[in-house]
Amino acid sequence: MSYNKRLDGRKFDEVRKMHAKVGIIKRADGSAMFQIGDTIALAAVYGPRELHPKFLQNPERGVLRCNYDMASFSVTERKKPGPTRRSTEISLVTEKALASVIDLDLFPNTVIDVFIVITQANAGTRCAGISAAAMALAHAGIPMKDMVAAISVGKVGDKIVIDLDKEEEDFEEGATDIPVAMTARGKEVTLLQLDGDVTKDEVMEAIKVAKKGCDEIHKIQTKALKEIYKNE
Residues that bind other proteins (CB under 8 A): 24-28, 38, 40, 42-44, 46, 49, 67, 69, 71-78, 81-83, 113, 115-117, 119-122
CB 31 within 8 Å of CB 43: yes
Pick between residue 67 and residue 221 the one whose CB is nearest to other proteins. 67
Pick between residue 40 and residue 161 the one whose CB is nearest to other proteins. 40
How far from 232 is each of 23, 26, 37, 105, 130, CA to CA, in Å? 11, 14, 29, 30, 25
Please report how close the Cβ of residue 42 comes to other proteins at its closest, in angstroms.
6
Pick between residue 78 and residue 145 the one whose CB is nearest to other proteins. 78
Please report how close the Cβ of residue 158 comes to other proteins at its closest, in angstroms.
28
CB 111 within 8 Å of CB 48: yes
In angstroms, how far is CA 173 from the centroid of its own chain? 27
Please report how close the Cβ of residue 17 comes to other proteins at its closest, in angstroms.
14
Pick between residue 45 and residue 191 the one whose CB is nearest to other proteins. 45
Q: What is the DSSP string of 61-127?
A: S-EEEEEEEE-GGGSSSPPPSS--HHHHHHHHHHHHHHHTTB-GGGSTTEEEEEEEEEEE-SS-HHH
Pick between residue 117 and residue 198 the one whose CB is nearest to other proteins. 117
Please report how close the Cβ of residue 155 comes to other proteins at its closest, in angstroms.
24
Please report how close the Cβ of residue 48 comes to other proteins at its closest, in angstroms.
12
Q: Which neighbouring-strand residues pair with 159?
A: 156
CB 117 within 8 Å of CB 70: yes
- Check the CA dihedral 119-124-125-131 and report its sign: negative
Q: How far, in Å, CA of 199 to CA of 37, rounded?
A: 28
Please report how close the Cβ of residue 49 comes to other proteins at its closest, in angstroms.
7
Question: Length of the chain, please?
Answer: 232
Q: How far, in Å, CA of 214 to CA of 119, rounded?
A: 22
Pick between residue 9 and residue 82 the one whose CB is nearest to other proteins. 82
